[in-house]
Amino acid sequence: MDGSWFSSTFGKKLIQYVLVLAVALSINFALPRLAPGDPLEFFFGESTINELTPEQRQRALHELGLDRSVWEQYADFMTGVFHFDLGSSIKYGKPVTEVLADRLPWTVLLVAPSLIISAVIGIVIGAYAAWNRGKRRDLFFLSAMLTVESIPGFWIGMLLIAIFSVNLGWLPSFGAVPLAFTGGTAEYVGEIITHMILPVITITLSTVGGNFLLTRSSMLETLGQDYVYMAESKGASKRSLIFNHALRNALLPVYTHITMSLGILVSGAVVVESVFSYPGIGRLLYESVIARDYPMMQGVFLIITLGVIAANLLADVTYPLFDPRSRSRAWSREVSSSKQIGEETA
Amino acid sequence: MSANAKAAEHMWQEDLLQVRALRKTYAIKGSNKYKMTVLDGVSLSIKPNETVGLVGASGAGKSTIGRIIAGLETSDSGQLIYQGKDLQRMSAKERKQATSSIQMIFQDPYESLSPRMTIEQLVAEPLVIQKLHAKDSEQRRHAVRDALTEVSLSPDRYMQRYPHELSGGERQRVGLARAFITRPKLIVADEPTSMLDTSLRLDLLQLMKELSERHGIAYLFVTHDLALTRGFCDRLLVLDQGKVVETGTPEEITEQPQHPFTQGFISALLELDSF
Amino acid sequence: MISKGAKWIGWTGVLMLVIVFLLALIGPYVVRHDAEKQTGMPFQPPGAEHWLGTNDMGQDIMAELVVGARTSLTIGIAAALLATLIGTAIGLVSGYSGGWVDSLLMRIVDICLTLPFLPLMIVIGVYMGPSLITQVMVITLVMWAGKARKIRAQTLSLRSRGAVLAAQSMGAGHFYILWKHIFPSMLPLVIPQFVQAVNVSIMMESSLSFLGMGDPLSKSWGSMLFYANSRSAFLTEAWMWWVIPPGLCIVITVLAFSFIGYCLEERVNPRLRAYQAASLKGAKSAVKAALPGTSTADLLAVESLFVRYPKENSTMTAVDDVSFVIKKGEVLGLVGESGSGKSTVAAAVMQLLKPPAMVEQMGIHFADRDLSRLSPVEMRQIRGNRIALIPQAAMNALNPVMSVREQLAEAILSHRKAGKQEIQERIDQVLMQVGLTPRWGAAFPHELSGGMRQRAVIAMALINEPELVIADEPTTGLDVKVQVEIIKLLKDLQQRLNLSMIFISHDLPVVLSLADRVVIMNQGKIVDQGQTLTVAHHSTHPYTRRLIDSIPRIRTARPLQEQR
């Protein structure tokens, strides 16, 4: 890999991610201290602090370091974070990190399949609509997708529950597994899948519109490119025109978008998980907001930020696999220095 | 000071514009370490009423010189002595005053004229910016009519029209009228003919020549088309990789090129010409 | 111009928006109930008294919807306005000033864009306490950065545009340029940004309210659904009138703005208009009554070709009754200035014209077949196989994600089956013919210089040994030296392979040197044609003479006679 390329492009991105993390942490640090009201409330919850004696209060302030200078507190906070110490959850009485570890897998279980299904549908229909631009079919899919995109995810979820759970009674509407479960592994997996269906449909529907629109506009652009005209003039088949030339180039921005939305989806799951009472980290955030469990809330925010950064990194690292222009090869420098020679050998 | 040096000094004095040891580098996108040198110590001078041609292959830096003179870019080092004063050291106010007598015409006649303005507004724009005849709209209008007449566009036919209603050649003449309206001493012409059809190129140059003869305007004519400079330029500078490699009259340079780059360039052109 | 479909979408959006605004504005005067008070029994179904029934508290749902409309529209428009204003201001400053200011602002924007917005909104919202102002603020906070980035990109492109440079060269100050040139051009771009921001912020508002983060004192559609959800509306029949109407209201409002936004976006974004699907009306070429018995000695005979484009209410004729023939092994030069229709002729011969072009001809006869009557499949078999095109824009004619070798192989495989070995050998052979060492085959287009790319394109045209090659301005955009090399190459290949060729150019001397015969076009018509030498020396046609006379010569003492 070219050293200068690495240091400039990728290095800049890394710095950006570190900064994002720092900003997220600083927001976490600053909010309970800046927000109006008693800061202790943000650490212990309202009910506890009302019963504190003045001495206990002092001790609590001291233990939390709230009586020290802001910079000392900030340093302490950062040290804590790097030792994976995010404090204790008020509601669960367990370390925040432990609760997060319990909940994260469930969110991934919902988000990953939704993302794949939504990407496939969005890309296929988007490419189809672009190829048929201006015809009835294009207009139909365009307005349908804009409509789907305008439906709030929680409302889709509520309607699905009303129809498939309450009225038809086909699918469960609550949680990830039955509350009391006795049965073998196969049944257990079966239960997990039936519980996934409605939330996955909901997330898919609320993301498919974006994938469609991006694919369509990206494809419209590549279809107008000179290389597609050249391919047509060399007699390439319609299939090759669409797939090898137009779509392959059109997918580059779509790929980045989808990979990056992996992180954003995790946060989008807040709404859907709340509707379905699904025990992922989105629901966890919602619960901790309701319970005013501030340490938990901050922990979730942090883990989601990490997720977004990880998704961005994944996009950055894998993008060159699909776009040769961002691959730096030893000989491309050779070419640029020997362009004249290359022409003269001709 | 020796007599020789004095004579040289005197010669400098006569120049309208002197460019001394101009350097300019651009950062290469995506690289912190490497920079691309566009101008590598370029010096040149333009006398009043003189037409100087600047030729070279694309990427030789010829447009950059024009853009620096017109104030669109700044150089990394070097001086621009205009009528005895360094343009780049002037205060913003002085510079603005000086630029009213340095104008520029551009390569693209389609996008260098704002589509929302009428020809009258476009041609009057330098007056508005320089706050000339600010109180007298009748005088402004008169100046616009004059300028349009000078470039052989009938004021009555063109003043109220919009650029998109005009052909490329007409637009380029509007650009020339706009440059001319402040009665400049120097016009920087950056490839003014390259987007025009061949049959219109010589017409525009003819018009520029007449304007210069009537009003004593000097041109810095930036072009890649060596053939056009014949009969138009008094003097040519050949630029290669940010350096002036050869100067002379167009005839000298086309008939007896001295520098290897110029020789290669001319022989390529001749080949193209003689096909 | 925008497409009919986009217009339809835009007007549908306007219609829906009118409905929503009517609900918000005149609703309170029509609905008699107070949304905050218990005005009926709980869970009352829709009826004459309560048009949409009541909720669990006995409040009138229709009245709630009206109040909700006001909340949603207020928050949506306020937040969108703020975000667009801040974004536009930052984007303008960043893009216009450049340098470190730009870098700094863009880093901040990048960071804001990477932060996960929904949890951020929730976390900030919780600490600030739920209220209308909080909602507007957090929504603005997550939206401004995206707008700033878009506006900055626009500013950058406007700043380097000719009109701005011109003003700058006249000594205009920053304020003048921003106010007179950049801002007016920016306005049509800012408006769709604003409209799209409204739909996003209404969506965000409803999500926040649904999670219980809304202002508890003012009802909104999202908070209605929050109560419906938390009080288990599903257990009763009430969900039909309690859940569906507020949701529908959100959908209609968001959709209205996104429809209008799409329509406006298409108007200002040329990207979305670049391509038109094939075979729309008017696209199919019409064949006039064909003359029987064309001379079979001709390789290609174009008879009475017309190409028209719709223009406002009439049509513009780009190619006007053009007929010509080419014999085997002959080079025909097609000369004209820009807009003369010469490239359109090439595209018409290849049957590559797309709508809105309307093509009419007596016939385009190639090797005893009328190309205009062939099916798309038959024509595809001829394209690149028996007639090849070297297109104008060589710099972009190669697919950036495929290697040269892959693209050459595709050209072969589009027309016949061939073994791997055979394909590689043929590719090596043709690369050598155009003067590229075979190892360049593995390169991607961006790794090649302009001249090398054009050679690769020529290789692609020659790879199937076509009977006719159409070279459409093959040297545009190349440096003088490279132009000479490419023309030499074409000349050499033509002689070595005895190619029949149509050479299209505005450059008369080049055409005169290559062509056996020339056709001179002006404004879509053929104005002059004949043997090259005859035309060059004896043509009396004024246009031809003007073209020849206006050629600036490097050395004056080289009259045309000497050249050949």
Could you tell me which residues come within 8 angstroms of residue C62 by beta carbon, excluding any fewer than 6 positions away?
C31, C33, C50, C51, C52
3-state secondary structure C184-206: HHHHHHHHHHHHHHHHHHHHHHH
Residue A292: what are its φ and ψ, rounded to 5°?
50, 45
- Check residue B218 and give its pLDDT: 92
- Check residue A7 and give its pLDDT: 47
Q: What percent of chain C has pLDDT over 70?
A: 90
Residue B66 falls inside a structural domain:
yes
Together in a domain, B179 and B190: no
Q: Is the pLDDT of residue A99 over 60?
A: yes
- Check residue C166 and give its pLDDT: 87
Top residue of C126, C220, C478 to mutate, by most chain A CBs within 10 Å, is C126
| Chains in contact with C via at least 3 Cβ–Cβ pairs below 8 Å | A, B
Together in a domain, B179 and B193: no
Q: Please, are residues B250 and B233 in contact by the beta-carbon 8 Å criterion?
A: yes
Together in a domain, B201 and B248: yes
Q: Is the pTM of this model over 0.90?
A: no
Q: Please, are residues C10 and C259 in contact by the beta-carbon 8 Å criterion?
A: yes
Together in a domain, B95 and B224: yes
Residues C352, A152: C-beta atoms closer than 8 Å: no
- Rounded Cα distance between B155 and B149, Å, is 6
**Mean pLDDT of all residues in C269-285:** 53
Residues C212, A285: C-beta atoms closer than 8 Å: no
Query: Which residue, B183, B202, B218, sits at the end of a domain?
Result: B183
Question: What are A's interface residues with B at a Cβ cutoff of 8 A?
Answer: 4-5, 7-9
Q: Which residues, in sequence order, are bridge partners of residue B237?
A: B54, B247
Residues C509, B114: C-beta atoms closer than 8 Å: no
Record the tokens describing residue B178, joined without a space. 């706009």
Nearest to A334 by CA among B33, C437, B58: C437
For chain B positions 204-223, those within 8 Å of chain C (CB to CB) are none
- Greater confidence (C217 vs C402) lies with C402
Together in a domain, B150 and B263: no
Confidence band for C447, pLDDT divided at 50, 70 and 90: confident
- Rounded Cα distance between C533 and C528, Å, is 13
Residue B215 falls inside a structural domain:
yes
Together in a domain, B126 and B233: no
Distance from CA of B68 to the nearest CA of A (A): 28
Strand-pair category, B85-86 with B77-82: antiparallel
CA-based torsion, B148, B153, B158, B162: positive or negative: negative
Could you tell me which residues come within 8 angstroms of residue A164 by beta carbon, excluding any fewer than 6 positions away?
A170, A171, A173, A198
**Residues C347-405: pLDDT tens digits?**
888 888 887 788 888 888 887 788 888 888 888 888 888 899 998 766 788 998 899 99
Residues A152, C128: C-beta atoms closer than 8 Å: no
Together in a domain, B256 and B141: no
- Check residue C278 and give its pLDDT: 53
Q: Is the pLDDT of residue B91 over 70?
A: yes
**Residues A7-38: pLDDT tens digits?**
456 777 788 888 888 888 888 777 766 666 66
Q: Which residues of B touch C331 (CB under 8 A)?
A: none
Confidence band for C275, pLDDT divided at 50, 70 and 90: low
Distance from CA of A289 to the nearest CA of C (A): 7
- Check residue C407 and give its pLDDT: 92
Confidence band for C321, pLDDT divided at 50, 70 and 90: confident
Confidence band for A2, pLDDT divided at 50, 70 and 90: very low
Q: Which residues of C touch B272 (CB under 8 A)?
A: 480, 483-484, 487, 509-510
**Mean pLDDT of all residues in C41-58:** 71
Distance from CA of C99 to the nearest CA of B (A): 12
- Greater confidence (C89 vs C217) lies with C89
**Residues B142-154: pLDDT tens digits?**
999 999 999 988 8
Q: What percent of chain A has pLDDT over 90?
A: 10
Q: What percent of chain A has pLDDT over 70?
A: 82
Q: Is the pLDDT of residue C20 over 50?
A: yes
Q: Is the pLDDT of residue C560 over 50?
A: no
Which member of B72, B197, B272 has the closest CB to residue C338? Answer: B197
- Check residue C561 and give its pLDDT: 36
**Residues A285-309: pLDDT tens digits?**
888 877 777 778 888 888 888 888 8
Q: Please, are residues C277 and A141 in contact by the beta-carbon 8 Å criterion?
A: no
- Check residue A65 and give its pLDDT: 65
Residue A209: what are its φ and ψ, rounded to 5°?
-60, -45
Residue B108 falls inside a structural domain:
no
Distance from CA of A325 to the nearest CA of B (A): 13
Top residue of C2, C106, C108, C115 to mutate, by most chain A CBs within 10 Å, is C115
CA-based torsion, A32, A38, A44, A47: positive or negative: negative
Q: Is the pLDDT of residue C521 over 60?
A: yes
**Residues B219-234: pLDDT tens digits?**
999 988 888 888 889 9
Residues B30, A9: C-beta atoms closer than 8 Å: yes
- Check residue A132 and give its pLDDT: 87
Together in a domain, B144 and B228: no
Give DSSP secondary structure letters for C422-439: HHHHHHHHHHHHTT--GG
- Check residue C163 and give its pLDDT: 85
Residue A83: what are its φ and ψ, rounded to 5°?
-100, 20
Q: Is the pLDDT of residue C491 over 70?
A: yes
Confidence band for A119, pLDDT divided at 50, 70 and 90: very high
- Check residue A35 and give its pLDDT: 63
User: Where on the phi/psi map is residue A176: left (φ > 0), alpha (ψ -120 to 50), or beta?
Assistant: alpha
- Check residue C405 and give its pLDDT: 92
**Mean pLDDT of all residues in B244-267:** 85
Residue B72 falls inside a structural domain:
yes
Q: Is the pLDDT of residue C296 over 70?
A: no
Together in a domain, B11 and B86: yes
- Rounded Cα distance between B197 and B170, Å, is 12
Q: Which domain holds residue B44?
A: 3-101+185-273
Together in a domain, B197 and B95: yes
**Residues B43-57: pLDDT tens digits?**
888 988 899 999 887
Residue-level length of chain A? 346
- Rounded Cα distance between A220 and C280, Å, is 16
Highest mean pLDDT among A56-70, A158-172, C231-245: A158-172
Lowest-confidence region among A131-145, C35-49, C246-260, C355-369: C35-49
- Rounded Cα distance between B275 and C494, Å, is 15
Confidence band for C339, pLDDT divided at 50, 70 and 90: confident
- Check residue A125 and give its pLDDT: 94
What is the tally of structural domains in chain B?
Answer: 2
Q: Please, are residues C121 and C207 in contact by the beta-carbon 8 Å criterion?
A: no
Distance of CA C135 to the CA centre of its chain: 37
**Residues C419-443: pLDDT tens digits?**
889 999 999 989 988 888 888 888 8
Distance from CA of C164 to the nearest CA of B (A): 8
- Check residue C284 and give its pLDDT: 47
Q: Is the pLDDT of residue A71 over 50?
A: yes
Which member of C272, C280, C460 has the closest CB to residue A217? Answer: C272
Record the tokens describing residue B116, joined without a space. 């929302």
Query: Which residue, B167, B183, B199, sits at the end of a domain?
Result: B183
Together in a domain, B172 and B209: no
Residue B107 falls inside a structural domain:
no
Q: Which residue of B has its CA nearest to C182?
A: B114
Q: Output the average pLDDT for chain C.
A: 81
Nearest to C64 by CA among C176, C223, C185, C172: C223
**Residues C59-68: pLDDT tens digits?**
777 778 888 8
Q: Is the pLDDT of residue C490 over 90?
A: no
Q: What is the CATH number of the domain that holds B202?
A: 3.40.50.300
Distance from CA of B143 to the nearest CA of C (A): 16
Confidence band for B13, pLDDT divided at 50, 70 and 90: low
Together in a domain, B11 and B90: yes
**Residues A124-172: pLDDT tens digits?**
999 999 888 878 888 899 889 989 988 988 888 888 888 888 778 787 7
Q: Report all structural domains of chain C as residue ranges with CATH numbers, in order of start.
A: 4-33+52-272 (1.10.3720.10), 298-386+466-549 (3.40.50.300)
Residue B208 falls inside a structural domain:
yes
Could you tell me which residues come within 8 angstroms of residue C454 by beta carbon, excluding any fewer than 6 positions away?
C394, C474, C475, C478, C482, C486
Q: What percent of chain C has pLDDT over 90?
A: 8
| Chains in contact with B via at least 3 Cβ–Cβ pairs below 8 Å | A, C
Q: How far apart are the first and last CA of chain A?
A: 30
Query: Which residue, B183, B206, B237, sits at the end of a domain?
Result: B183
Q: Which residues of A touch C199 (CB under 8 A)?
A: 150
Distance of CA C333 to the CA centre of its chain: 32
- Check residue C559 and give its pLDDT: 38
